[in-house]
Structure formats: structure tokens, C-alpha cells
Amino acid sequence: MPKITVVGAGNVGAQCVYRLAQMGFEDLVLIDIVEGLPQGKALDMMQAGAVEGFNAKIKGTNDYEDTQNSDVVVITAGLARKPGMSRDDLIAKNSEILSSIVKNIVEQSPNTILIIVTNPLDAMTYLAYKVSGLSPNKVIGMAPVLDSARMQYFISEMTGSSVKNIHAEVLGSHGDLMVPVPNLSTIDKRPITEKMTQKQIDNIVERTKNGGAEIVKHLKTGSAYYAPGSSAATMAEAIVKDSKKIVGTCAYLNGEYGLKDVYVGVPAKLGKNGVEEIIELKLTPDEQKALNASADAVKKLCEKLTVRK
């Protein structure tokens, strides 16, 4: 039976665990530094299982020993953005938090696969890779599947088409320089460029880039968690079930798309070894230029990281 740990019992972590329980996973751990928080949420979720019909055993804990031998660990812990705060503003504090978590996790589960949700996500995923000592295919970031889902919904909202019949392709970093690719996004298997005006597409692209900030603006005292938590759960499911599903993933590139030693969003095949194949799409020169700029911004952010192994 696969064991999945989620670090951070805040809104994103709790949503992730709850979705995993609904998916049928039974050996789950929710860990947080706040005493009582993961224990209370875990108990509440297991009681919900009696209503919904799932039989998950969710261990709420403050002790890393309870995470031992986890197949996948999703790390959601860290400070959330506040209105007016950029992802870059988060880097110093979240670097410290993430480094400590990764060391504790890998000590208990040296063969695990890490899924990073902590922002600024691309830089934090690179940091986790450096701190963990794991191979890069076993350290991945969550964001591209989330960014694609947001674009997918915005297209659905604008056109009235079902989200089930829409595919949205988003590459690059999780932030202002993400690269929505309208040319490779479809409605009913046809490019959205055939179904939407350029003005509509431009609106969708801009709204996708600011998808997280739009929610932060509404909430005022928090950030998105339903879609991020569900996105992380979907990635964990693909890995432990060895499904070979192609998912938008913040993955380590070492030559793919002409980029090296950087984590950015690309479509990747996920399985029991983490990233098993990076799918290289055919991009236009402008799209490639935008992806390069996105990767350069991530590299500059990574230069600010202090890696303490």
C-alpha cells in the first residue's frame, strides 16, 4: 500500500490530503509544526469518510518519524502570499522553512519523490533538489497543472464550452512570466485560435498569468487552495499508480527546450520514478523566446538562494 505524506496542514495541505483520501489512498500522513492542527484535521477528514464512503487512515502528527518510508511527499508548508506581495518577496523565509523540511523528510524517506508547492515555486523546487540530494527526476514542482487548469476554466467561462472538452497548455515559471500557449490549447480538439478572437485570447492569457493574484485580491487574508491542493493530489496519484500520465510539471531541464540546470513548467510523463519523460512541444520562435525569458528569471531568483545541505 503506497504511503503519501503531506507537509503543512494549512488550507492547501488539508485539501490535498482530503482529495487523496477521496481518490482511495488509505495510508496518509498530515504533518505540521502546530500541535493539534494536523491531528484535528485528520480526525475530521476520517469522520467525513464515513459519510463519503472512503476508508483512509490519516495520521495527523508533529513528528517526522511518522513520515518514515513515504513513497511521495507533498510539501505545501511556507508563508502564503498577501495582497501586494510578489512571489519573489517570499524567497528568504520560505527558503529557510523548505530546507529544514526537506532535510527531515529525506532522513526518514531517502527514496521518496518530492512534490513542491511552496512559493516561489520554481526556485523552491530547485532548492529542494539541491538540499535533498535526490536525483532531479524525483524532485518536481506542482504549478503548471494548476496554471493550465486556470486557463482551461477561463476558456470555458468565456466560450460556454465544457472544461472536459478543453485543453490548455501553459509552460514556464509559476508567476508573471509564465507562458500560456494558445496555439497548442484546444476546444473540442481544435485550436482555440479557430474558436476565439485575438482579443479574447489576449484576455485569457493575461488572466491566466494573474490567476493566483486575482484570488488573493478577493480573499484578502489568504490565497488559493482548492485548485492547488487538488493539483498536487493529481500529481501524487499519477506517480504512485505509475500511470505514465502527461501532466504539466515544474521539472528539471538539462538540454530540453535548449535550457539547462533550471526548473520550469513543461509537460512531463509521471510514473513510479517521478518524471519519466519530458515532452518537448514544437514552439514558435516567440513562444521559445518567452520560455527562455521565463527560465532566465527563475535562474536569477535561484541565485538568491542559500543552499545549506
309 residues of the chain, pLDDT tens digit each: 999 999 999 999 999 999 999 999 999 999 999 999 999 999 999 999 999 999 999 999 999 999 999 999 999 998 866 667 665 667 888 899 999 999 999 999 999 999 999 988 999 999 999 999 999 999 999 999 999 999 999 999 999 999 999 999 999 999 888 999 999 999 999 999 999 999 999 999 999 999 999 999 999 888 899 999 999 999 999 999 999 999 999 999 999 999 999 999 999 999 999 999 999 999 999 999 999 999 999 999 998 886 665
Q: In what order do the strands lie in the sheet with 186-187?
A: 166-167, 186-187, 190-191
Tell me the one-letter amino acid at 103.
K
Catalytic residues: 174
DSSP state of 54: -
Query: 180: which strand partners?
Result: 170
Instruction: Return the domain boundaries, the chain.
Output: 3-142, 144-302
Binding residues for NAD(+): 8-13, 32, 94, 117-119
**In CATH, 144-302 is 3.90.110.10:** yes
Query: CA distances (Å), 188 to each of 171, 184, 192, 199, 258, in order?
Result: 21, 12, 9, 20, 31
CATH classification code of 3-142: 3.40.50.720
Binding residues: 8-13, 32, 81, 87, 94, 117-119, 150
State the Cα–Cα distance between residues 260 and 38, nearest whole angstrom: 39
DSSP state of 162: -
Answer yes or no: same fold for 3-142 and 144-302. no
